């Protein structure tokens, strides 16, 4: 009798355990929400979509806002499906994180307003304003020989990030003290000054590690700056001194996007 009793108790415990497990599975599944945004499917958790009270998504999930369903029973929202990834990432991270070179600030601000996310809308507008100000400012990089100012190059551009990229590449290679590159140099906010600059002797070379491009002499350093700018979507507005008959032989280059 005792054995039968203990067996029944074990069976009851197993049933209760299985019941609790199934309930947990059911709760977990119901916490997952699939959204069809402009034809793009996104799967996320209920708590993510309801993070901001009074937002459009929180209203849908909690039944305050009516939303149609697609043929598969998913919530359908007729908005930009590609941009929605940034909306969802904001809900997940609590901050605006956009990929480098993002240029759809105005569209994203409109999406943020539609989804009634005031904090995101303000963050996008602030980012947009900063970019507008930066685009009107022309910055420059000067690469020069401290003993001979005629040996050098000035690069002008309306995008500080491009100047920073060129500068970081040159400084990186300089610090590695590669064969033929000046070892002594100083760096300020907009100037890289070498004690002795790259000369045109045979064998002098500069290796840019990012793509293993070999750059020889000052002239080809200018050419590398032009090619890097074109790859990044900039155009050469003008050579500021074309009196020598070649853009590569000029003393300054001006890029704009």
DSSP 161-202: HHHHHHHHHHHHHHHTT-TTS-S-EEE-SSEEEESS-----T
pLDDT at 65: 95
Give mean pLDDT, residues 145-165. Answer: 74
Q: Tell me what the pLDDT averaged over the chain comes to.
A: 75
Choose from 8-17, 131-140, 164-173, 181-190 the range with maximum mean pLDDT: 164-173
DSSP-derived secondary structure for 195-228: SS-----TT--EEETTTTEEE-HHHHHHHHHHHH
Higher pLDDT, 224 or 79: 79
pLDDT at 19: 53
Which of 16-30, 73-87, 158-172, 234-248 bottoms out in mean pLDDT, i.e. has the lowest? 16-30
pLDDT level of residue 130 (50, 70, 90 thresholds): confident
pLDDT level of residue 247 (50, 70, 90 thresholds): low
Task: Report yes or no: 227 and 166 within 8 Å, Cβ to Cβ.
Answer: no
pLDDT at 129: 84
Tokens 């806002």 locate to 65
Q: Is residue 197's pLDDT more than 70?
A: no
pLDDT level of residue 15 (50, 70, 90 thresholds): low
Find, among 100, 21, 105, 36, the residue nearest to 67 by Cα.
36
Higher pLDDT, 216 or 115: 115
Choose from 29-33, 73-77, 149-153 the range with maximum mean pLDDT: 73-77
Give mean pLDDT, residues 218-224. Answer: 69
Residue 167's alpha-carbon distances to 63, 64, 142, 227, in angstroms, are 54, 53, 9, 15
Find, among 104, 62, 63, the residue nearest to 84 by Cα.
104
pLDDT at 207: 45
Higher pLDDT, 4 or 16: 16
Higher pLDDT, 226 or 206: 226
Q: Indicate the pTM of the whole model.
A: 0.50
CATH number of 24-134: 3.30.710.10
Q: Where are the domains of the chain?
A: 24-134, 139-241+249-256
Give mean pLDDT, residues 151-180. Answer: 71
What is the Rg, in whole angstroms, of the alpha carbon atoms belonging to the chain?
A: 30
Read off the DSSP letter of residue 203: T
pLDDT at 228: 79
Choose from 3-7, 41-45, 168-172, 206-210 the range with maximum mean pLDDT: 41-45
Report helix, strand or coil for 44: strand
């Amino acid at each position: 009798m005792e054995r039968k009793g203990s067996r029944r108790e074990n069976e009851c415990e197993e049933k209760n355990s299985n019941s609790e497990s199934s309930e947990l599975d059911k709760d977990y599944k119901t916490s997952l929400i699939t959204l069809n945004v402009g034809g793009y499917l996104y799967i996320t958790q209920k708590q993510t979509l309801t993070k901001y009270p009074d937002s459009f998504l929180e209203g849908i999930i909690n039944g305050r806002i009516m939303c149609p369903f697609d043929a598969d029973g998913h919530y359908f929202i007729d908005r930009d499906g590609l941009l929605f990834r940034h909306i969802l990432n904001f809900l997940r991270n609590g901050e605006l994180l956009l990929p480098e070179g993002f240029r759809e600030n105005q569209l994203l601000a409109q999406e943020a307003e539609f989804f009634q996310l005031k904090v995101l809308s303000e963050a996008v507008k602030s980012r947009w304003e900063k970019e507008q100000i930066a685009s009107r400012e022309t910055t420059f990089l000067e690469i020069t020989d401290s003993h001979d100012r005629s040996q050098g190059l000035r690069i002008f551009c309306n995008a500080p990030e491009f100047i920073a990229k060129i500068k970081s590449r040159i400084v990186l290679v300089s610090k590695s003290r590669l064969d033929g590159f000046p070892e002594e140099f100083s760096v300020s906010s907009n100037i890289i000054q070498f004690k002795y600059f790259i000369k045109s002797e045979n064998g002098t070379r500069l290796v840019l590690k990012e793509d293993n491009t070999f750059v020889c002499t000052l002239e080809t350093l200018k050419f590398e700056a032009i090619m890097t700018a074109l790859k990044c979507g900039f155009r050469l507005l003008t050579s500021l001194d074309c009196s020598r008959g070649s853009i590569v032989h000029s003393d300054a280059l001006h890029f704009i996007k």
